Amino acid sequence: MTTDQLEDICKRACEVVKVAGTFILEQAGKVSPEQIETKAHNSLVSYVDKQSEKILVKGLSEILPDATFLTEEETVDQKEGPLRWIIDPLDGTTNFLHQLPCYNISVALQVEDRLSIGIVLDVQKGELFTAWTGGGAYLDGRRIYVRDNIELADAMISTGFPYYDFGLTDQYLKTLGVLMQRARGIRRVGAAAIDLAYVAAGRYDTFFEYSLQPYDVAAGIVLIIEAGGRVNDFQGNQDYLFGKQIVASSPAIHDEMLQILLEHF
């Protein structure tokens, strides 16, 4: 698939994402406690997640009728294929349900197993992050890049706290202890796709987290790569989509981040 074709698909997919985003925003503050389900420990879902996913699946199916889907809420058959959409219809559900501001839609397209399009919509702020292979990364149509020529001492770090998999808590806390002393600051907003988008835009300098799912990170990975950043799992390999570990950074500090993670994980 050519760069021009990917750009066209991305632009059309953005219109679908905006429709789902409008629906989510209309429902903000309207979900009652009895409309919230607990899928697993600290993992919540409501009709908003499911309806957003249905909107996305329907609209994206019209763009690429032969594409398959990997989605968080599984409102459609989960299949592999040469073209596959990877969707988180409401990333940051807990934030949304508690009326905290950071939640988003994350949509990626795999072409022959290569992540080729990434779209992240910050629903409340209305910021739209987009990227496609060979085309660069953008925020509301303006080209974005990771921040370069920095040292770890100047870096703003983002992360996600463990919320159901606590088997590596000690390693994680030791890593935080090192970074607290060596970096400028650490933030946790509770929405991995936004974290990755912010690294791509130079707002953060690195992001790391474990126990994430493919739909949490797929779109953000495209943004990072097209913005000039680097992505690995904690062992420095490329198993960041399904390996449940990801570190994404400016190239200026990526190797140092990897070394710290390797020492503790």
CATH classification at residue 136: 3.30.540.10
Q: Which residues contact 30 (CB under 8 A, 6 or more apart)?
A: none
Tell me which residue of 252, 160, 157 sits closest to 204, measured CA to CA.
Answer: 157
Q: Are residues 70 and 117 in the same domain?
A: yes
Provide the token pair at 194. 């936004």
Among 95, 115, 144, identify where a domain stops. 144
Q: pTM value?
A: 0.95
Q: Are residues 48 and 160 in the same domain?
A: no
Under a CB-based contact definition with an 8 Å cutoff, are residues 216 and 105 in contact? no
- Give the C-alpha separation, 203 to 188, whole Å: 13
Q: Are residues 27 and 135 in the same domain?
A: yes
Provide the token pair at 179. 């970074």
Q: Are residues 74 and 8 in the same domain?
A: yes
pLDDT of residue 249: 98
Q: Which range of residues forms the domain containing residue 51?
A: 3-144
User: What count of other Cβ atoms lies within 10 Å of the Cβ of residue 69?
Assistant: 21
DSSP 164: S
CATH number of the domain within which 176 lies: 3.40.190.80
Specify the amino acid at residue 34: E
Q: Are residues 51 and 124 in the same domain?
A: yes
Q: Which residues contact 100 (CB under 8 A, 6 or more apart)?
A: 92, 94, 190
Q: Are residues 137 and 192 in the same domain?
A: no
Specify the amino acid at residue 191: A
Q: Are residues 30 and 134 in the same domain?
A: yes
Specify the amino acid at residue 3: T
Q: Are residues 137 and 8 in the same domain?
A: yes
Among 144, 164, 191, identify where a domain stops. 144
Among 144, 174, 190, identify where a domain stops. 144
* pLDDT digits (tens), the chain, 265 positions: 999 999 999 999 999 999 999 999 999 998 877 787 776 665 667 899 999 999 999 999 999 999 999 999 999 999 999 999 999 999 999 999 999 999 999 999 999 999 999 999 999 999 999 999 999 999 999 999 999 999 999 999 999 998 788 989 999 999 999 999 999 999 999 999 999 999 999 999 999 999 999 999 999 999 999 999 999 999 999 999 999 999 999 999 999 999 999 999 9
pLDDT of residue 44: 65
**Total domains in the fold of the chain:** 2
Under a CB-based contact definition with an 8 Å cutoff, are residues 88 and 56 in contact? no
- Give the C-alpha separation, 144 to 129, whole Å: 9
Q: Are residues 85 and 36 in the same domain?
A: yes
Q: Are residues 126 and 157 in the same domain?
A: no
Under a CB-based contact definition with an 8 Å cutoff, are residues 106 and 219 in contact? yes
Q: Are residues 54 and 173 in the same domain?
A: no
Under a CB-based contact definition with an 8 Å cutoff, are residues 194 and 92 in contact? yes
Q: Are residues 163 and 68 in the same domain?
A: no
